[in-house]
Structure 1
Amino acid sequence: MKGKVLAAVSDAAPGLISGDDGRRYRFDASTVRSGPLRAGQEVDFDISGDMAVEIYALTNQYGLSPEVGRGWINFYFSSTGRVSRRQYWLYGVLVTFVVSVVLGWIPVVGQILGLAAFWSSIALSFKRCHDVGRSGWWSFLPAIPLVLTVVVSMVEAANHAAMAGTILLAIVTLGSYVWVFVAVYVRRGEPGPNRFGPDPLGLPIA
């Protein structure tokens, strides 16, 4: 049976659970199988007379599943799976930007947050690529002409040559950024599951 903890075990009295059947059941610490319980936690338990036994916590005291925290960590820092456009722009870009602005000025914390945000941006970009059916490495495609642009510009500057090669590569770089932006970050993902995972539309993050 499932229910909710009304009162935790104390030195003076046993704990109390309100079951889904409308009845209340006492319990003691020896029957809890998943660590100390707090008021407000949802639990699964068996019944022995008027006592709850074999009790397992389904949520923490805030009503959240233990999987929730793990789900958000995976969302921001795992490069596997898929994210929808809405998830990417709202929970990825916007939330990361706001947190960086609010906390980025704090010494040490700002540096750590910057590194975390950098990796998170890569992980989320990979998952956007996955959502449209492409390898995550496609997100680095514009970096190729960008590096070539820098190298060619240095060579042309050293030889006092015309900057025609640099200008051409700069145009190619800009074009590749626009193409990736539209094809990956604006385009709707593939409907239904693909080789990278299930369709993220309609699925909770955690």
Structure 2
Amino acid sequence: MRGEVISVDSFSGHGLISGEDAGRYSFAASATRTALRIGDKVDFVGTNGVATDIIALSAPISGIGVAEYGYSRPSAGTGYNFLSAVFSFNGRLRRSHFWISWAIMCATWLVTFWMPLLNVVFYFVLLWTNLAVGAKRFHDMGKTGWLIAIPWTALILVQVITLGGVGYSYINDPQSLASDGPTALLIVIGLLAIIAVPLSLGFWLWLGIADSQPGRNKYGPNPKNPVDDTANTFS
């Protein structure tokens, strides 16, 4: 029977073929006679949803050979790219690179915090890097990067509610706010800090601990095993 390879995962050593009979057949690396890539036309023996004795009818990409019936564990991924990790919103970011990026951002903030004017500039730079790192971490989990807006939206909402409450109190009793306002405002800020800080730390801790989505997703190849699926192969 003939078909087309629609999925290959060099990490697990399994794949999926769409047969000419409209059925889908799973296969293991040991069932292949040649290198396989997504989109390859193959000839195979299909039994009970399992493909065996698979031969690629389209030639494999030059330079990506395979050992017959073999499978080797993929590489551990590429090294850390600073500019891509902290400034780009494209692609995926693995956990170890997430924490490296956070260490760099925290060190930068500690240094620039004490520098007048420069700390304002770096505030916006670090805001950008914060969003970029978080978005790519979500991409690595197979989720939209827009989810990084959750903690920032929550923070803005809390600030709006706080300012709205202060404004409402001033309209109703200007004198009371003038005498007790500073103390009340400090209490509100303290309560918000008690609530917001643990929630924010929990959010980022979860983002840094959650595992990558196995294999390639719509945001790119798995950074632990950056093998593009257009040339993904068992070897």
Q: For this structure pair, what is the TM-score category when the shorter chain's length is used for normalisation? A: 0.3 to 0.5
State the TM-score, normalizing by the size of structure 2.
Answer: 0.43
